[in-house]
Structures are given as structure tokens and as C-alpha cells.
Amino acid sequence: MDMNTPESPIEWVPNPRAGTIDSSPAVAAAFPDGIFQEVQTFHRQIPGYRPSPLRSLGNLASMLGVGGIWVKDESQRLDLNSFKVLGGSFAIYRFIKAKLGLEDQALSFDELVSESTKAKLGDLTFATATDGNHGRGVAWGASKLNCKAVIYVHKDTSIARIEAIESYGAEVHVIDGTYDDAVHQASVDAEANGWQIISDTSWEGYTDIPRWVMQGYTTMLSETQEQLAGTGIIKPTHVFMQAGVGSLAAATAGFYSSRFGADRPTTVVVEPTKAECLLHSAKVGDGRPHNVGGDLNTIMAGLACGEPNPIAWDVLWDTVDAFTACPDYVAAKGMRVYATPLAGDPFIVSGESGAVTLGALMFLAEFPQFREQKDSIGLGPHSQVLLINSEGNTDPDDFRHVVWEGAASVPREYRWSPEYRAAR
């Protein structure tokens, strides 16, 4: 690409094989019967629990020529500003049940945090690697259990995210490398020190906890279905999901595939172009996950992952209709649109990783050059599109740089124009 030519807002790799799969063995293995109810029952017991809001951007939907845009706003989740606590807390719950030999029994939240349970468990230290939000969720869970937490972050993690983790009493180690380097170091140190890893990605011999993390995320989809039912909508027609290692995307795609089979929503995964491990894997097309290298330097810190979660990939390969990647300016546009809504639409605080799906949807819906991709997924006036705002303002300095000062601005060639709407 010419150095003077701006990066395209959307790179697109279709996955037509997903449309041929009515029942995925990977989905069945990751999300067995009854798991969605078990997860939601556990989360409902947590003090302060309430469903995060589902917000309607009706006026923006009209502007983009779609039937509806629904945003599950995880910036309101348990005052933690992110969905990640759902996965970490459920994984810790399942780990403790297994450690106590209670796999087939219910364990209430009060029992989980009781002194008698702590006495049976002894001294536990939970460890994980994070781009910020997962580590904060694990630290929160450990603090509720009066356990220690050791959290590993990469060198580009902001001070604000580190301090948010430390606010729950966790010890934070900064690794001179990428997120994937932090994952490796956390695993090595946990093995040496007898700590328990609570990771959202899997590797050989370590699959149960990452699967529990993925299952934990499904509470927000169960809530979404209940909230949509209140509006008379059975399910979304389209879901745009952001992805790092792929666990959140797999939880979402797996939930809807498990619930609706061949009638599941059309699903599009969105990654940063500087960390597009899932799109790269789809390009290779051999059904296996493949890593990408580089420094993974993107403003979408929560998505800056070069190595897919293998068990998440298996679900995504069977259920995702298109893999896409977007440059930073697409996420920045999404942040600004959420923060400055059309009259009558709600204001939403969204961080970089939370907003990239809105930016991608807008470019896809409005720019004539993407009409083929838009038509291939049937995006049109009857579409009900679900987005997940996966994080709020988790890094205030970066948030202000983007929303106040216009950092990562849209290149002139890709700025919105009334002609785009006329040509749509």
C-alpha cells in the first residue's frame, strides 16, 4: 500500500462454511445444556447485580438504513466499567466448586465467600494476564474471597488501567512485551509459585477455566434476550462482535447458535488491523487458529492480542459469517458517535475496544464501496443489529484524547458525506 494512501476502514474475509453448519460440535462442547441458566443464576446472587442496560439508537438506525441498533451497555456492569467480571467471577466459582469436590452441587454466593469455605480452601492466589479489564475482574473476584491476586500486564498498559487493578488489592507485574508475552510469563510464574491461573485464553492442558470464562460472559446475552423480548423482538438479525483472543465473540456466537441453531443471527467479528489473529486464521482457511506477530500497538488495548484462544476459535470457525479488521480511526469514530448521539438517541460512554463495532457498522452501512459486503450479509431496512459496548471509560486520558481532541481522526478520503447516503 502507498504510504500516502490511508488504510481502508474495513478488511473483510467471508466465512461461507458457517452457513452450512446447523449444529456445531464445538458449540455443544463449550456450551452444554443448562449452562446459560446456571451462569445467570450465579451472577444474580452477586451483591449489587442488576442487568446492564440495552439501549436503542433508533435515530442512528434510521440514518444508516437499518431497522434498529441495540447496544448492550457493559459500562454499567457492577461498577466495574466492563463485562469482564462476568467471566472471571464464574470461572473462580467453578474452580472453587471443583476444588471442594462440589461439581454437581449448587454453591451460593454467600457460601462461596464464607469463612468456612475459605478455611477449606486455605491460602489461594489467583493469577492472570490482562490488557486491563479481565485483570480487574479477577482482582475483584479475589478480593471478594479474601484471596490474593497477581496480575500481569504488557508494557503499553496505561497507568489508569494498572491503578484500577491495584484498587482491588492485586499485585501488578508489568512485562516488557506484548499481551501474549504477559500470558506466557503469568503461566511460568504461576507454575513456579503454586498460583491458580484464571485466563480467558486456552493452551494445551489448560481448557476448563477458559471455557468457564466464556460461559460466564453469556449472562449478558441472556439478559439481552429478556430485554429484546420486552420490545417484541425475538432475536437480533445481526450481531457485530469485537474480538481480541476471541472469547467474548465465541461466547456471543456460541450462545445464539446454541439457542437458535440454523436460525441464529448473522455474525460479524471485528478486530484491530494491528492484531488481526482471527481474520488471519480465516484467511489461512485450514480450520486452525494462527498467530500474528508485531507489537500489536493499537488504541484498542483490550483487543491487542496476537494469539487466538483455540477453544474460542473452534466455535467462531463454525458460526461466524464474516471476519473483519479495522484501523484505529474506526474505533475512534465509534467513540465519538456514542458520545455525541443524534437528537433523541441516548448518550453512551464507550472505550476504544467497546466502540469499534459501531464504527465498522457505520462504514459498512454508508459507504458504497462496501455494498457487496453489506448485501452479502443481508444488512438492510429490516435488520435489528446488536452491538456490545464492552467497556466504558477505562482509560480517561486516552478517552479524552480521542473524544475531546480528535485523536485517531478519520482520513479525509473516508469522512462521511451526504453523497454516501444518496449512493447507498
* Per-residue model confidence (pLDDT) at position 133: 86
* Per-residue model confidence (pLDDT) at position 3: 60
What CATH number matches the domain at 11-83+214-423, 3.40.50.1100, 3.40.50.300, 3.90.850.10, 3.30.450.40?
A: 3.40.50.1100
* Per-residue model confidence (pLDDT) at position 417: 79
CA 257 to chain CA centroid, Å, is 17
Where in the chain are the domains?
11-83+214-423, 84-206
* Per-residue model confidence (pLDDT) at position 423: 60
Q: Is 150 helix (H, G, I), strand (E, B) or coil?
A: strand
What cell numbers appear for 270 in the block?
471485528
Closest C-alpha among 236, 312, 316 to residue 282 = 316
* Per-residue model confidence (pLDDT) at position 85: 93
- The catalytic residue among 2, 72, 73, 84 is 84
Same CATH fold, 84-206 and 11-83+214-423? yes
What cell numbers appear for 17 in the block?
462454511
Q: Is 147 helix (H, G, I), strand (E, B) or coil?
A: coil
Contacts of residue 375, defined as CB under 8 A and 6 or more positions apart, other chains included, come to none
Report yes or no: 108 and 45 within 8 Å, Cβ to Cβ: yes
Residue 131 catalytic? yes
What cell numbers appear for 332 in the block?
475512534
Question: Measured at the alpha carbon of residue 375, what is the angle toward residues 372 and 379, in degrees to the nearest 5?
Answer: 135
Rounded to whole angstroms, the Cα distance separating 243 from 275 reads 10
Q: Could you give phi then psi for residue 417, rounded to 5 degrees? A: -145, 145
Q: What is the DSSP letter of 393?
A: S
pLDDT above 90 as % of the chain: 85
Q: Please provide the CATH number assigned to the domain covering 84-206.
A: 3.40.50.1100
Neighbours of 50 (CB within 10 A): 11
Residue 148 catalytic? no
Kind plus residue range of the DSSP H or E element containing 152: strand 148-154
Rounded to whole angstroms, the Cα distance separating 369 from 364 reads 9
Mean pLDDT by 10 residues, the chain (424 residues): 80 97 96 97 94 98 97 94 93 93 88 89 92 88 89 91 93 94 94 95 94 98 98 98 97 98 97 98 98 94 95 98 98 98 97 97 95 98 98 93 96 83 61
pLDDT above 70 as % of the chain: 98
* Per-residue model confidence (pLDDT) at position 424: 62
- The catalytic residue among 131, 180, 200, 328 is 131
